[in-house]
Copies of this chain bind each other. A is one copy, B any other.
Amino acid sequence: MSKEIPYKIYLSESEIPTAWYNVRAHMKNKPAPLLNPGTLKPMTADELSAVFCDELVKQELDDTTPYIEIPEEIRNFYKMYRPAPLVRAYCLEEKLKTPAKIYYKFEGNNTSGSHKLNSAIAQAYYAKKQGLKGVTTETGAGQWGTALSMACAYFGLDCKVYMVKVSYEQKPFRREVMRTYGASVTPSPSETTEIGREILSKFPGTNGSLGCAISEAVEVATHTPGYRYVLGSVLNQVLLHQSVIGLETKAALDKYGVKADMIIGCAGGGSNLGGLIAPFLGEKLRGEADYRIIAVEPASCPSFTRGTYAYDFCDTGMVCPLAKMYTLGSSFMPAPNHAGGLRYHGMSSTLSQAYDDGLIEARSVKQTDVFEAAQMFARIEGILPAPESSHAIRVAIDEALKCKETGEEKTIVFGLTGTGYFDMVAYQKFNDGLMEDYIPTDDEIKASLSKLPKV
């Protein structure tokens, strides 16, 4: 083992980034704008302000400013759990007998259990600053809802969470964490909204989906004075906030003179991957360096690898703006796999554009293969990973094993977005040998894609 690079590279608090990096500023082909579903014209700031906080609307639409300052209040909150460590996976390398050098950026060392807190605190801050009373949101795996509950507790905001029903049932304790932080949690679809009632009558017994929970949360936000809607992924603003992950990762690597060969992240809506790769993609766009960037998605919800690049609704209820993205169609209902955070039908517009431009690769992996990697990682590296994060672990291990064959000493960096403490129902299934793989048929995907809006 090389003794020069520590197991964990911790930056000091003074090295926490003071500005987020807005990779759109350096993209030649900008991500396509959100469209008003009625007029099919780009959404204006005014239109977006009915749904989102004003300052966040600005960030959403800004594709020219490369660096946006992080307000001091947010940086102070970051100091409670950041900088996050960049870990050299010495034990994993040794176990795999690979010449590859493996690093992971670990975002799980906070109570929300994931990177989601990075954007939650920013969005709560701007809501508070605007004098709002509260925010609404949806949550899939529960990580985003927990993060937002924590952020709202910190700033004294009310927090209403719509939680995808299958996660609500699989993760009863997630709900209690959110309640401990003072949030209200409703399983979605619910009877509390018009769209929820509609979906329930059309699909009784549905497991719910992120797209459907979004519709409910947006409906409540736009119908309750003093409330706005906040979202934990997909949006440009979220990727902007999450760039703190990549900036810290790059600073830590630079500190030790390490150049990454490939960067791997799981991708559901794209918040973690977009944040992790931001500064690396920036270098690539500016021609300063080259990296392989690999997005990993579940075979059960393969928006990059089997979807289409087109305008689509962001939500099942079709009340949100249209976004151009790789999508399986907003009516796609993924099977109830155990990576709840990766069950979204679409993908961030920014990442979709980068993927379409060939700047990013994508790979889909099966659930059982993912849990095999998760268990191995837990035993060797001592961290029980979230199912979502384990998609990246799977491909990192696969790539390290390829290096073993070829003898190449590649440097692999992956995002370990969170911990699996609230995913023990999934681990139990795996431990008991009862886990199954779900892969949608071509016909299923074709069916939901046939319902794409005509733009």
Interface residues of chain A, those whose CB is within 8 Å of chain B, are 6-8, 10, 12-13, 77, 79-81, 91, 109-111, 113, 150, 153-154, 172-173, 176-177, 179-182, 375, 378-384, 419, 421-422, 424-425, 427-428, 430-431
Contacts and interface: CB of A to CB of B under 8 A. Distances in A.
Each complex incorporates copies of this chain amounting to 2
A124 to B, nearest CB: 12
Contacts of A79: 6-8
Contacts of A110: 382-383
A85 to B, nearest CB: 9
Contacts of A430: 180
A419 to B, nearest CB: 7
A181 B13 contact: no
Nearest to A375: B180
Nearest to A384: B111
A351 B150 CA distance: 37
A424 B422 CA distance: 10
B419 A111 contact: yes
B8 A181 contact: no
18 contacts: A6-B12, A6-B79, A7-B13, A8-B13, A8-B79, A77-B382, A80-B381, A80-B382, A81-B382, A113-B421, A150-B379, A150-B382, A154-B382, A172-B424, A173-B173, A176-B427, A177-B421, A180-B384
Contacts of A12: 6
Query: Which 7 A-B pairs have CB atoms at the shortest separation, nearest pair first?
Result: A173-B424, A7-B79, A176-B424, A153-B379, A421-B421, A111-B384, A6-B13
Given A80-B91, A111-B419, 18 more contacts: A6-B13, A8-B13, A109-B109, A110-B383, A111-B378, A113-B421, A150-B379, A153-B378, A154-B380, A154-B382, A173-B424, A176-B427, A176-B428, A179-B428, A179-B431, A180-B378, A180-B427, A181-B378
